[in-house]
Amino acid sequence: MIIAIEYYILIVLLSMSAIQVASSYSGINGIVLFQRRAYNYIASAIVALPCMAVLITWNWHKDVGVIEGAEQFYLFMAGILSAIIITLLASSLINHGRFKNKPANQENGFEALKNNTFYQAIIIRLRSIAWRG
């Protein structure tokens, strides 16, 4: 596998794990992939620990070729952005029915994701803007 692609995939997986742990801990249920907090922690640990082990031992098992600083920065930022997009899309699909019958709250920022998926929060916000005229 190309070294840059491997690094990008590791960053995406680690970022998704961090997002899941943070959202579970803070109670932002709209972007979690599992309904139970313990499942999110376990799944994140199962994904993050091997990825961290690979990144920590990167120079031991990659004897030739390194990723230059600027390229590493771009891959890191692209990985984080990809993880955010994947998490928002996946959680909106997985949790769509979970919040379907709850009253539409008009909270701002991350607070809107406590009781709605990202997709539902966007729809609620667009409806309120259209209603105001």
Please say if the pLDDT value at position 133 is more than 60.
Answer: no
Compute how many other C-beta atoms are within 10 angstroms of the C-beta atom of residue 53.
Answer: 10
Q: What's the CA gap between 1 and 4, in Å, rounded?
A: 9
pLDDT tens digits for 44-72? 999 999 999 998 888 787 776 678 889 99
The answer to whether the predicted template modeling score (pTM) of the entire model surpasses 0.75 is: yes
Scored b (16 or more CB within 10 A) or e, 91-122 reads: bbeebeebbeeeeeeeeeeeebbbbbbbbbbe
Please give the Cα distance from 102 to 96 (Å, whole number): 11
Domain boundaries of the chain, sorted by first residue: 3-97
